[in-house]
């Protein structure tokens, strides 16, 4: 685990994980990794700020070779920004077959729709309202094209 942490920090040198690996961190990182790696599984991790859940999730996601997507709600983040982010992420997952984990901290939940949408994604795997008809048809076309050229 120390080697994985060192590799992660080397790759993410601008925002390294500053955690000490001990049994609690090790056990929980493995649990998160197991959950992330489970086919068709969804996990929502709720913890107190400063508990280490965010770095453990980032490390577990790195170990699984998934993309850890973090929200940046700092500057004038609006509901439209959240919708666009969801659309981009869903397209990345559906068309490019990327595996993504959302890392959302308490400070990032600036309006209730963020939690409601993440809950719906975890429970159902989709947000039926997210794409309009034209966008849906475009996604279907892109997905078909990608599968034919793969």
pLDDT at 150: 67
Q: What is the DSSP string of 55-102?
A: HHHHHHHHHTT-EEEE----SS--HHHHHHHHHHHHHHHHHS---EEE
pLDDT at 63: 93
pLDDT at 90: 87
Establish how many alpha carbons lie within 13 A of residue 13's alpha carbon, considering only the half-sphere containing its beta carbon: 2
List the domain range (segments joined by +) for residue 144.
Answer: 2-149
pTM of the model: 0.79
Average pLDDT for runs of 10 along the chain of length 150: 90 89 90 87 74 88 90 86 91 85 86 90 86 91 83
pLDDT at 84: 92
Q: For the chain, what is the domain count?
A: 1
Q: Residue 41 sits in a domain of what CATH number?
A: 3.40.50.300
């Amino acid at each position: 685990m120390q080697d994985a942490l060192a590799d992660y920090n080397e790759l993410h040198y601008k925002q390294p994980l500053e955690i000490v690996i001990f049994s609690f961190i090790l056990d929980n990182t493995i649990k998160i990794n197991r959950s992330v790696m489970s086919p068709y599984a969804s996990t929502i991790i709720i913890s107190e700020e400063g508990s280490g859940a965010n770095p453990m999730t980032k490390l577990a996601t790195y170990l699984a070779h998934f993309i850890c997507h973090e929200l940046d709600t700092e500057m004038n983040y609006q509901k439209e920004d959240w919708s666009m982010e969801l659309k981009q992420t869903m397209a990345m997952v559906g068309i490019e077959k990327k595996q993504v984990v959302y890392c959302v901290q308490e400070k990032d939940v600036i309006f209730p729709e963020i939690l409601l949408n993440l809950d719906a994604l975890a429970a159902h795997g989709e947000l039926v309202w997210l794409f309009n008809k034209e966008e849906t048809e475009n996604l279907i076309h892109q997905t078909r094209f990608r599968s034919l050229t793969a």
